[in-house]
Amino acid sequence: METVGFILLLFFFLVGFFAIFFGLPGTWLILVTSFLYGYADSFEKLGLTLLAVLAVIAVAAEGLEYLLGMAGAKRFGASRKGAVASLVGGIIGAVLCAPLFFGIGALPGLFAGAFFGAFFYEWTTQRDLRHSFRSGVGAFLGRVSGTMVKLLAALGMIGTVLFALR
């Protein structure tokens, strides 16, 4: 039964990691999976202290992804609503492009969607092509930065759990 549990743990770690490419909260799935594995093991190998650290990392990663995405758009001149449009556009882009290249299309879709979300919102409200383009570039750069931070956090969480289970 322990082997089945470990295989399920690895499976959900992979699902959580790849969920990040779709703009989804994969770090939370990694945290919940770790908690359930710890619970099944009576918290012998994965103690509550370790799980609390993972929770802090998950909260920080999700918060940083959001803040970096918003800050990137705002830094390059997007309005608050333009920054929100970049977040929504990123999710829509990831979902629409996911079928391309056997699922790998989600990542470029995420970034392109962030660009176009900010660009189109700013274009419809300001009618200034240069401003709209700059806002889109900022949203793109912010989304890339936020996603990279979250991916690194997810890898750190997975590595920490696997190290604790060795």
Which of 21-30, 100-109, 138-147 is predicted least confidently? 100-109
92-113 pLDDT per residue, tens: 998 899 888 777 888 899 999 9
Query: Quick check: 43 and 36 in contact, CB under 8 A?
Result: no
36-55 pLDDT per residue, tens: 999 999 999 999 999 999 99
Q: What is the mean pLDDT of residues 69-84?
A: 90
Query: Quick check: 62 and 136 in contact, CB under 8 A?
Result: no
* Residue extents of the structural domains in the chain: 2-165
Q: What percent of the chain has pLDDT over 70?
A: 99
